[in-house]
């Protein structure tokens, strides 16, 4: 998918970008831009993109952050839809599977030692939620980093 953005402001290590709406979209109040802004973590039509972003893998950041860009210039942003869907699947499925597996292991583990299986499942639930809170960002970040190419 290719989205066209306009450079609004340029700083040393970051650039402010705004979605460039097509003339055919000028009267439309659709939500086409919403997925783009969710990726960049903002809800407005413009956002700041840092050169050393930890949430995006930029294949060619020199095209955007070099001295050749100026305010008002259009920039194309391209990413793979299949990669985006894989990332969404990993982010939503991994925590659910971890919670389910920890509850099953807790239930059967406690049942083996003649303790309450429900207590084991509950402790497995809390343990998996704790793991996700503590290690979730570190575990999922290599898989969920979206690769962006500037045109």
Spatial separation of the C-alpha atoms in residues 26 and 32, rounded to whole Å: 12
Please state the pTM of the whole predicted model.
0.54
Per residue of the chain (151 residues), give pLDDT as tens. 677 788 888 887 888 887 776 665 555 555 555 555 555 555 567 777 787 776 667 777 777 777 777 888 888 777 677 777 777 777 788 889 999 999 999 999 999 998 998 999 999 999 999 988 887 777 666 555 556 666 5
> Domain segments of the chain: what residues?
2-78, 82-143
Cβ pair 140, 84 in contact under 8 A = no
Pick the closest to residue 44 from 75, 16, 25 (CA basis).
16
Greatest extent of the chain over all pairs of C-alpha atoms, in Å: 70
């Amino acid at each position: 998918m290719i989205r066209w953005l306009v450079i609004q402001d340029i700083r040393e290590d970051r650039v402010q970008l705004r979605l460039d709406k097509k003339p055919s979209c000028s009267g439309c109040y659709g939500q086409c831009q919403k997925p783009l802004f969710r990726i960049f973590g903002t809800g407005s039509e413009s956002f700041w993109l840092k050169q050393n972003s930890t949430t995006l893998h930029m294949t060619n950041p020199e095209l955007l952050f070099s001295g050749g860009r100026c305010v008002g210039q259009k920039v194309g942003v391209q990413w793979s839809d299949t990669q985006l869907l894989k990332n969404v699947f990993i982010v939503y499925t991994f925590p659910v599977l971890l919670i389910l597996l920890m509850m099953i292991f807790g239930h059967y583990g406690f049942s083996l030692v003649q303790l309450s299986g429900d207590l084991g499942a509950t402790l497995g639930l809390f343990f998996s939620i704790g793991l996700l809170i503590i290690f979730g960002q570190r575990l999922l970040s290599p898989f969920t980093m979206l690769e962006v190419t500037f045109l």
